[in-house]
Structure 1
């Protein structure tokens, strides 16, 4: 009997699995989504830097270049303001705001479990870092650097739509995705919001019982 009892005590309980080895840190469930966020942010930042470098080399002191039958014009514009040339007299303030956005996203990433949120925040982070790089390292100086804008839609010189760059597009795309996720009730941790859960539960109660 003692042998049977000893064997039973050594059997793993229901739902138990192999735990971490002694001295080994437990797996971080946020790691895959944080990696995804980081990869997207790095890719956006790298592409933004490359496209701006090419624009400075090829478009400096040139007339706007028409492509796609006039749907897009490529031209070099140095923007001291925010997106769409807003707040042009507050470059240093915009730099501080961009740094704050980066810090907030990095802190939020520790609670991230949702793939959708990872993609959206990665796009916003990469775009913010791209324009922040200009603010810090381009003329006329740190915190006051002018952002390089490249694309003008439908007409040159931003006559129809303000001239923008890849970082701006990434920020806007990520922002729209964040709004959609919020409207759909998706939380950072991959769960549904309490309001959506209550709505689904109420809808289930209102359905007629099957015969």
Structure 2
């Protein structure tokens, strides 16, 4: 009999690939609604107090010059939106403000981002501050004129529209929200990842 040599015990089958590891989901950050709830009342209170002082001290008085003319305290009653825009649409602006406040309160239950909490807190406090003017000041509910009293460089908005604390808070809060969007940070604490379209592989 011929010796065919040692019999190979190796299998021709390819080795099995290791099982893919199950991705572990990162835990979500804690809820930040408390931060929004802390910022909004502070903004509203600051806006309310400064408006009360402005009515008592500035109404009917000439502008007060501060910082060598860089800032003027000039009393105005504004029937429009922030910085005097959309005058004559007081009722519509009041309803829009109500919608903004309702929307912020609705998404607050899912709020987990510090940046979004700060931005929305500033916007909410400013929106409520100006909305309070539209509801409770003359000439009537939802038609009230907003108290503005800060003018820069020139009195009475000759260089830039006269504004108040609420207007400033809304603008700063809006800028923070835009920054969060640029950084791809969502209000619920997640991060929006940009998916690059991969080119399909060509089969040989």
Could you tell me the TM-score, scaled by structure 2's length?
0.80
3-state secondary structure, aligned to 1:60: coil
Does 2:97 match 1:101?
no
Does 2:58 match 1:59?
yes
More helix by share: 1
* CA displacement, residues 38-87 of structure 1 (integer Å, 9 cap, x when unaligned): 11000000000000000000001100000010000001100000112111
3-state secondary structure, aligned to 2:190: coil
* Equivalence for 1:133: 132
Does 2:114 match 1:115?
yes
* Equivalence for 1:77: 76
Stretches of structure 1 that go unaligned for 5 or more consecutive residues are 1-28, 203-211
* Equivalence for 1:159: 158
* Equivalence for 2:188: 189
Q: Do the aligned partners of 2:122 and 2:173 also contact (CA within 8 Å) in 1?
A: yes
3-state secondary structure, aligned to 1:96: helix
* Equivalence for 1:45: 44
Instruction: Report the alpha carbon displacement of residue 191 of structure 1 after superposing the two structures with TM.
Output: 1.8
User: Aligned residue pairs: how many?
Assistant: 169
* Equivalence for 2:142: 143
3-state secondary structure, aligned to 2:60: coil
Instruction: Report the alpha carbon displacement of residue 194 of structure 1 after superposing the two structures with TM.
Output: 2.6
3-state secondary structure, aligned to 1:192: coil
* Equivalence for 2:176: 177
* CA displacement, residues 88-112 of structure 1 (integer Å, 9 cap, x when unaligned): 1110000000000000000010111
* CA displacement, residues 139-170 of structure 1 (integer Å, 9 cap, x when unaligned): 00100000000100000010000000000000
C-alpha separation between the residues in 1 aligned to 2:70 and 2:103? 36
